[in-house]
Structure 1
């Protein structure tokens, strides 16, 4: 039994020489740092004889660095397992990122020592469901004509992308519910200060919008707000032989060639719900070809 595991960054296994692959107990491909959780799980549950993990390939995103540091005992952000399992892993991690296949072959030949003696006790490793935020400091626009739905969307955004301080999660949000041009700019406590003036204005530059951290565990998000059809005041699009753009009153404003570039171009200019709609319709048009009928094609498809 091999004592090696090989993790390939952005490389399909068949691209690696068979001689190298055959000397590994497991060959895995990593496109994200999350792979490290499954590697550690495999080391404890299946490959207890493995004492060396080799990470090879181009580290385009930095995921390889997180994988290597975790395998070396660092309890970093990539981990979804209890930290003690990486601290007591007992493997040598070889960093061959951005190296040649010849160097990989040489390292594999030098370190390959088959055997079946366990180097760690077997254990069942739980992988926890992720629930992390990715702090985003830029301005974000949210739109809904219904005040309560807009509030829920803003809270949900903070739970996903909010910046954390000692007491609050916050972000700078542009909260829009109308288009007549009556705008406000002020802080907004989404839990205790809502509607923050939006009952008398079309839009609020909430600088910042925030929620108290002490209340986070009591928040539940009503996902039904994302099933509502919120009409986009930019107008609407009809997909036929071309992409036709109509005003809200039905005036044909433009007709464009039906290309991916034009659909992306228009999606950049409309509100998120409408952009999602355009993308879905364009994908259906390309897949169904002559059988496509705008909106009607959905009748035969149910959410799983």
Structure 2
């Protein structure tokens, strides 16, 4: 059995020359760093005789850095398996990103040493569910006429997108409870200082709003997801999903009726929060570019 597993970045495995593919135990395509978790799982559960992993192809998104680092034993941000499996993997990693097929052919021929004995003990590896926060440093507007609900939404936002420091998690928030025009500004501890400046103004610019890290459990208890089921018009407008995507103004004027398609939902979602987009099943950029040639999901099917 071949001792080589080949990860191909941003290129279909079938496009590689057959004489190269025939020397690999498995050839798989990857567009994101998360694929390293499925590779590690496969190396422990299926390809126990593989002692060499080659990472090849154009690293268009930079995900290859995470893949190479993790396979070399570094438990980085992309890893969703217990770190002991990363540190004990013990494979030789050959980084051939941005190289050509001839170089790949030469390296594979040199490293190809079929073996029948396992390179590592077989183990079952469970993938941990992702639980990371995207730290967003831009300002964000949150509206609700009910002060308790407004605080809960602010806490929920910080727990999702807040920036982490040694003692607190914070965001720059514009908290609005009405449209009277008065505003105040200043820092706001959402647990200890509430309602901050909203006791005398309709808009409070929290610079920043924050939650102490020692009080995260208490803060999370304030968030009831049911608050998002309320009909509340806010400065972002209000999107209603029905037979179409209806966009209302803060006072309920129907602004747009948008055809309910995946592309339109993505378009509107991306405009709600700069530098971030809703994930609707596949890596958006990769799928948009490759369309029917998108094949990363095959890793999950194989492993």
TM value normalised by structure 1: 0.76
- Tell me the distance in 2 between the aligned counterparts of 1:164 and 1:144: 25
Alpha-carbon deviation of 1:228?
2.1
2:102 corresponds to: 102
**Contact residue 3 and residue 52 of structure 1 kept, 8 A:** yes
2:229 corresponds to: 227
Alignment deviations for residues 176-229 of structure 1 (CA, whole Å, 9 cap, x no partner): 222232111011111122121224322111011011111113423311122222
- Tell me the distance in 2 between the aligned counterparts of 1:255 and 1:51: 57
**Contact residue 183 and residue 201 of structure 1 kept, 8 A:** yes
Question: What is the correspondence of 1:131-170 to structure 2 with a 5 Å cutoff?
Answer: 131-170=131-170
**Contact residue 233 and residue 249 of structure 2 kept, 8 A:** no
2:76 corresponds to: 76
Aligned length: 267
- Tell me the distance in 2 between the aligned counterparts of 1:213 and 1:234: 29
Alignment deviations for residues 244-286 of structure 1 (CA, whole Å, 9 cap, x no partner): 9889486x9x89998x9xx79x959x978xxx9xxxxxxxxxx
Question: What is the correspondence of 1:103-252 to structure 2 with a 5 Å cutoff?
Answer: 103-218=103-218, 219-220=220-221, 221-232=223-234, 248=251
Alpha-carbon deviation of 1:113?
1.7
Consecutive unaligned residues of structure 1, counting only runs of 5 or more, are 277-304
Alpha-carbon deviation of 1:4?
0.9
Which one has a bigger Cα radius of gyration? 1
SS in 1 for 2:117: coil
CA 224–51 in structure 1, closer or farther in 2 if over 3 Å, else same: same
CA 23–17 in structure 1, closer or farther in 2 if over 3 Å, else same: same
- Tell me the distance in 2 between the aligned counterparts of 1:213 and 1:227: 28
2:21 corresponds to: 21
- Tell me the distance in 1 between the aligned counterparts of 2:249 and 2:232: 17
SS in 2 for 1:79: coil
- Tell me the distance in 1 between the aligned counterparts of 2:167 and 2:68: 34
**Contact residue 143 and residue 271 of structure 1 kept, 8 A:** no
Consecutive unaligned residues of structure 2, counting only runs of 5 or more, are 278-303
CA 99–51 in structure 1, closer or farther in 2 if over 3 Å, else same: same
SS in 1 for 2:156: helix
- Tell me the distance in 2 between the aligned counterparts of 1:214 and 1:237: 36
How large is the RMSD of aligned CA atoms in angstroms? 3.4
